Amino acid sequence: MYRSKTETGYVTAAHLALSAPPAVAILAGLAVGLVVGLVNGVVTTFFRINSLIATLAMSFVVAGLASLVTGGNLIILYSHPSFGDLARTSFLSVNTSTWIMVIAVVLLTIVLARTTAGRYMYAAGGNAEAARLAGVRVQLIKVVTFVVSGGAAALGGLIDTSRVLSAQASNGETALTFTVLAGIVVGGTSILGGEGGIWRTVVGVLFIALIGNGFDLLGLNPLYEQITLGAVLLIAVGIDAWSRLRTA
């Protein structure tokens, strides 16, 4: 999940930024995200553990490692404002964080829609056995997918850290994890794999953000927001399962 792949990355980057150049810290954070993605991919693929369970379990491991890095303290980077250049500078009156998001979305969309590797990813997620019989190296494709996911998630964590100039290990809460999952599923990506798209995910995440912003503007109890997000997630997963049954 998002948190399990980013936390050690952005905490490591913030810790290094206290004594190293920002570029070095950012590259180190990305490298950590890629490594966590690789570990998730290996555990899921070669040990045949359910990807959702493996990633949730890894989130607790990563949270513990992040706490070790920080000593349980909040890392403040206000005295190192250059680290904020990643997300807080502007180009054409738009923050670089937004430009990075747009570039990442476009590149990943092209990879998934226009390249052989992207088609293999869909095939491996939709029907691994059929893909294997067609000559696709399913295990390798799955590991590569996890690595890419880890790198993308780490980049998201780095942007967030750059924006607020602080980082802290979480206490193991999973609210953000399931909020992200809700956005992905609402965007039409099947939780069972093989179906989805980057632009659809962007729309789903924006929809979830719109719900949260609406609750804030109306001054409603945040507990109702949690209930709503849970209901939306259940409905989206139910629709996905129903549509698969109809096409089976």
Same domain, 61 and 108: yes
* Domain tally, the chain: 2
Structure tokens at 213: 């912003």
Q: Which residues pair with 166 in a beta bridge?
A: 76
Task: Estimate to the nearest angstrom the gap between the alpha carbon of 161 and the chain centroid.
Answer: 15
Structure tokens at 13: 């980057």
Same domain, 35 and 139: yes
Same domain, 145 and 229: no
Q: Tell me if 228 sits within 8 A of 211, measured CB to CB.
A: yes
Domain-ending residue, one of 171, 199, 232: 171
Measured CA to CA, the distance from residue 129 to residue 53 in angstroms comes to 21
Confidence of residue 164 (pLDDT cuts 50, 70, 90): confident
The C-alpha angle with vertex 180 and arms to 10 and 218, in degrees rounded to 5, equals 110
- Whether residue 243 has pLDDT greater than 80: no
Same domain, 137 and 224: no
Ranges 113-117, 141-145, 181-185: which has the least confidence:
181-185
SS3 167: strand
Same domain, 73 and 139: yes
Q: What is the pLDDT of residues 83-128, one digit of tens each?
A: 888 888 888 888 998 999 999 999 999 998 889 999 999 888 888 8
Domain-ending residue, one of 127, 149, 171: 171
- Whether residue 59 has pLDDT greater than 90: no
74 — phi, psi (to 5°)?
A: -80, 130
Query: Model-level pTM?
Result: 0.84
Ranges 91-105, 122-136, 178-192: which has the least confidence:
178-192
Residue 8 pLDDT: 65
Q: Tell me if 25 sits within 8 A of 16, measured CB to CB.
A: yes
First-to-last alpha carbon distance for the chain, in angstroms, is 28
Same domain, 60 and 115: yes
Same domain, 88 and 4: yes
Same domain, 244 and 202: yes
**216: Cβ contacts below 8 Å, ≥ 6 apart:** none
Q: What is the pLDDT of residues 7-29, one digit of tens each?
A: 667 788 888 888 888 889 999 98
Measured CA to CA, the distance from residue 66 to residue 93 in angstroms comes to 35
Domain-ending residue, one of 171, 186, 213: 171
Structure tokens at 16: 């290094």
Same domain, 115 and 185: no
Mean pLDDT to the nearest integer, 159-182: 77
Residue 203 pLDDT: 87
Confidence of residue 175 (pLDDT cuts 50, 70, 90): low
The C-alpha angle with vertex 169 and arms to 164 and 170, in degrees rounded to 5, equals 100
Q: Tell me if 244 sits within 8 A of 192, measured CB to CB.
A: yes
Mean pLDDT to the nearest integer, 122-142: 89
SS3 91: strand
Domain around 57: 1-171
Same domain, 114 and 160: yes
- Whether residue 187 has pLDDT greater than 80: yes
Residue keyed to tokens 């549509």 = 243
- Whether residue 174 has pLDDT greater than 70: no
Same domain, 140 and 213: no
Same domain, 3 and 80: yes
Residue 230 pLDDT: 84
Residue 27 pLDDT: 92
Residue 171 pLDDT: 61
Percent of the chain with pLDDT over 90: 16
Residue 193 pLDDT: 72
